[in-house]
Amino acid sequence: MTGDTATTAPPAAVQPPQSPGPSVAGGPDAPLPVLTDITMARSGLWRLLHGLPPFRLPRFEQRGFRLPRRATLRRPWTLVPVVMAVLAAYARFAARTIRLLAAFLSRLVRRSVVWSVEEVRISILDASDRLRRPREPILRMEAGEDPCTGHASVALFVQFSPDGTLSAMVRRQIETYRRLGFATVVISNSPTFAEDAWQDARRLAALVVHRRNKGLDFGAWKDLMPVALRRWPTAEEVLLVNDSVLGPIRPLDPVFAAMRQAGPGFFGLLESAQGGPHLQTWFTLARGPKAIADLALFLRRLRLSRSKWRIIQRGELRLARHMLGAGNRVATVYGYRRLVDLAVADPVQRAYLDRAIPSWVRGVDASVARARLLARPVNPAHHLWMALSGPYGCPYIKTELIRRNPGGMPAVDRWPELVPAASPCPPEMLRAHLAGLGP
């Protein structure tokens, strides 16, 4: 999940979209993106090892050793220097290999110990939570000024802010989903919910909820899905979204038009292949009664945890497989394979990849780079962010990438250059949202 640190070379210039792809940079009348079907996710050891960086043993390189011209079996002493040189080379090779293996095993042992201690701690806390009498998760719930009675489209929008306010970007997101026909349920996992922000949310949403932050976004969707289905029993589509992304920086009309034109099924904005093919759950849409019922069943059965990693494992990585297994079509707007094809074919994006993940792609041709990125997938929202939100036309940028950049991606500070001039959320609005999240 992490990438290599940046080199000292200057950042690659951010170019305007030039490569083919399902760009949605236009307005409501822009061409519709083409959905890519998701195949069945794999499991087991393959998923455990998926995404590990390539590991190569050092190669033995001949250093110009040559047999003396008069070296023959009649003069074996002439072979002694060559034999000694070869043995010395193999000794250096063995020593270097042992050092690499020792360092690898040392890191593996340290990480295994830390992981084991954390797993034991989380297991104890989760067990104690199950034994305790559960507290009511919902702290406050109130209908909006327009309850949107009878709507067939429902959006469950999860929000978090340290000070309990709603930024201008979050309000723009809620307005966008309402304009696109959704009865929006605003669910705040924030420690507090300021009264003025609460009233602002009521003016924009059909239902406003403040809950305890148990289970993160999946916990919110699990708690509010039954409430939403009781309030809108004839819903034909349910949107699961959150505010963990910056944007929209491009109109969402073509995205929803493509998903709605595709018919019933379970659709996402971005596919990831780390841990097996799945949809990143910060933007997914269930269409049709069957898909909604299967999604509600998955959320009802989902076992929450205090560990974010366990929630990802049980929630995001399993959701697409559950929906596929239930007989639903699962598809994405921005497929991982097509994104890789674009990134390795575009000279600007390829130059960026050479700096961002050199151990994967530097010094190899496009076909080899593509094969490596497909065999050992990276996080498309982080490692391929420039191609995704640039020429590929994704309407969002991952907030964690800009705030913390856990993979050490280069040129992240140039993200405003990817925001179009006519963006629904201009860079100033996005910067204000980032400032409100704190350091």
| pLDDT one-digit tens code per residue, 361-388 | 888 999 999 999 999 999 999 999 999 9
Name the pairing type of β-strands 207-211 and 183-188: parallel
**Residue 84 corresponds to which tokens in the numbers above?**
């000694």
Determine contact, residues 341/370, Cβ cutoff 8 Å: yes
Give tens-digit pLDDT for 26-62.
554 556 788 989 876 444 444 444 444 444 444 444 4
Helix H or strand E encompassing 309: helix 308-311
Spatial contact of 250 and 395, defined as CB atoms under 8 Å apart: yes
The span from the CA of 397 to the CA of 220, in Å, is 22
pLDDT tens-digit map of 382-429: 999 999 999 999 999 999 999 999 999 999 999 999 999 999 999 999
Residue 140 corresponds to which tokens in the numbers above?
A: 């406050």
- Give 398-421 as a DSSP string: EHHHHHT-TT--TTGGGGGGGS-T
Bigger pLDDT: 139 vs 20: 139
Which of helix, strand or coil describes residue 46?
A: helix
Which residues 6+ apart lie within 8 Å of 173 measured at CB? 157, 241, 243, 247, 248
**CATH number of the structural domain 138-334:** 3.90.550
CA dihedral 201, 205, 206, 209 (to 10 degrees): -50
Which pLDDT score, from 0 to 100, does residue 76 have?
65
Instruction: Determine the average pLDDT of the residues in 226-231.
Output: 97
pLDDT in tens, 288-329: 999 999 999 999 999 999 999 999 999 999 999 999 999 999
Name the nearest CA neighbour of 50 among 277, 205, 203: 277
- Which of these, 289, 284, 271, 185, lies nearest to 235 by C-alpha position? 289
Going by C-alpha positions, the residue among 254, 256, 226 that lies closest to residue 239 is 256
Distance CA 234, CA 313 (A): 31
Mean per-residue pLDDT, 11-38 = 55
128-178 pLDDT, tens per residue?
887 887 889 999 999 999 999 999 999 999 999 999 999 999 999 999 999
- Choose among 247, 352, 421, 348: nearest CA to 18: 348
